[in-house]
Structure 1
Amino acid sequence: MAPHLTYFKMRAKPGERQEVINHFHLWLTDRRPDVGGFIRVVLSSNVKDPDEFMAYAMFADKATCDANSNDPAQDAWYETLRSHLVSEPEWFDGTCELQRMGQV
C-alpha cells in the first residue's frame, strides 16, 4: 500500500497565528502516541502572508488516515484548531505516487 497524504490550506484568525502553531505541537505531544500509521506532518506558513498556512499529514495508508479522522479525540483536536481559523481549511487527499528525500 502506498502512503496516504492529506494536504490542507488554512488561514489563522488575526492575532491567532501562534495558536495554530502551538496546536500542531500539542497534536505531536498529546495525539501522536495514540495514532497508528502516522509518518509525518509538515506545517508551513506563507512567506508573503504569515497568517496563511499549508500543511500535510502522511499516514502509512488510507485506512490508518481514516482511522485517525474517525477518532473522537481527533475531532476534538480539529474543532479547537478550527476555532483559531477564519474558515474551514481547503482539503486535498491523495496517494503518494513519488517520494524522495535528499541529503542535508
Structure 2
Amino acid sequence: MYGSIFRMKVKPGQEQKVIDLFNEWDKVERPKVKGAIAGYVMKPDSKSGELIGVAVFQDKASYRANAERPEQDRWFRKMREHLQADPQWEDGEYLRSQLPR
C-alpha cells in the first residue's frame, strides 16, 4: 500500500468546510479512483486549528494516477481555499496495516 500523511493548517472557522470537502470526495470521486482504499481526517488534541489527513491507496501507481487527475486538482484547489498554507505532505509506502475486515 502507498499513500500520504499530511498536516493542514485550517483557516479560522473553516474546519467543517474542509471536512465536508473530504466527505464529498469520498462520495463523488472515490468511486472513480482505482486503488483508493481509505482516507482519514484527524483533529489532533495538541494542535488547535490543524487537521491531519491520511490517504491510503493500493500502490504507488494508483496514488500517482489519482494525483494526476484533473478532477483531483480541482478538488484540491477548492480545499486549499480553506487552508492557511499548502499541506505538509509525507508520501510513502505503508509497511503494515490492520484494517477492519
Same fold (TM over 0.5): yes
For residues 11-52 of structure 1, the C-alpha deviation after alignment (integer angstroms, 9 at most, x for no partner) is 110111111111100101111110000000010012234420
> What's the CA shift for 1:101?
4.5
Gaps of 5+ in 1: none
Partner of 2:97: 99
Gaps of 5+ in 2: none
TM-score under structure 1 normalisation?
A: 0.90
Equivalent-residue separation in structure 1 for 2:73 and 2:56 (angstroms): 17
Partner of 2:3: 5
Whether 1:51 aligns to 2:49 is yes
Q: Could you tell me which of 33, 37, 40 is aligned with 2:38?
A: 40
Pick closer, same or farther for the CA change 1:102–1:69 going to 2, 3 Å. closer
CA RMSD of aligned residues (A): 1.5
Aligned length: 101
Percentage of pairs with the same residue? 34
> What's the CA shift for 1:97?
1.2
TM-score under structure 2 normalisation?
A: 0.93
Q: Could you tell me which of 9, 16, 19 is aligned with 2:17?
A: 19
Equivalent-residue separation in structure 2 for 1:100 and 1:48 (angstroms): 25
